Amino acid sequence: MRVAFLVAPEGVEQVELTEPWQAVGDAGGERALISTEGGRVQAFNHLDKGDTFPVDRTVAASTVGEYDALVLPGGVANPDFLRTDPAAVALVKDFFEAGKPVAAICHAPWTLIEADVVRGRTLTSWPSLRTDLRNAGATWVDEQVKVCTSAPSTLITSRNPDDLKAFCAALVQEFSDFSG
């Protein structure tokens, strides 16, 4: 399985990037870090700067056909930036239209809302997104991990870093089922 991780140039919650990244790698998957700009992305540990990570490809140089699945890590600033970038939003929408699985944690569903892919789906997120998701036509639940298999694409969501173990297990399972 080849998995794209889409992040902004700065603001991704580090653990929400690194733990799923590790889980996909441990499952034998290929990973690519995609961002709106080349170079390195600045991760954060809540409000404090964390590590930087090299970008493998820019959004402009990426297509959904190159990947089997998509991961959207959270952090407040990360999805807020991504949802204002038309090319990033289009890439997210393309994954759904292609029927490929997508996993999003914490604040990442903000980008899903902008891509208009949550209507009629059931998902979870950081609690402050509950109203945004409901207003976008989704059903919000307070669960550690939620797998929504509504057509055309499977969506795996979790609330926060405390849910990472369950989130990683679910996304690896769903991604493996899809690509295997």
- At 79 the pLDDT is 97
Among the listed residues 72, 106, 108, 123, the single catalytic one is 106
Q: Is residue 168 among the annotated active site residues?
A: no
| Structural domain of 44 | 2-179
Give the model confidence (pLDDT) of 134-167 as tens digits: 999 999 999 999 999 988 899 999 999 999 999 9
179 pLDDT exceeds 80? Answer: no
Counting the structural domains of the chain, the total is 1
Q: What sign results for the dihedral spanned by CA atoms 91, 93, 98, 103? A: positive
Q: What percent of the chain has pLDDT over 90?
A: 96
Give residue 83's pLDDT band: very low, low, confident or very high (50, 70, 90).
Answer: very high
- At 106 the pLDDT is 98
As a whole number of angstroms, the distance between CA 89 and CA 162 comes to 27
> What does the mean pLDDT of the chain come to?
97
Task: Copy the structure tokens of residue 159.
Answer: 């609330």
User: Looking at residue 67, which CATH number applies to its domain?
Assistant: 3.40.50.880
Per-residue HEC secondary structure of the chain comes to CEEEEEECCEEEEHHHHHHHHHHHHHCCCEEEEEECCCCEEEEEECCEEEEEEECCEEHHHCCHHHCCEEEECCCCHHHHHHCCCHHHHHHHHHHHHCCCCEEEECCCHHHHHHCCCCCCCEECCCHHHHHHHHHCCCEECCCCEEEECCCCCCEEEECCHHHHHHHHHHHHHHHHHHHC
Query: For residues 10 and 85, is the Cβ–Cβ distance under 8 A?
Result: no
For the entire predicted model, the pTM comes to 0.98
Q: What percent of the chain has pLDDT over 70?
A: 99
Using only the alpha carbons of the chain, give its radius of gyration: 14
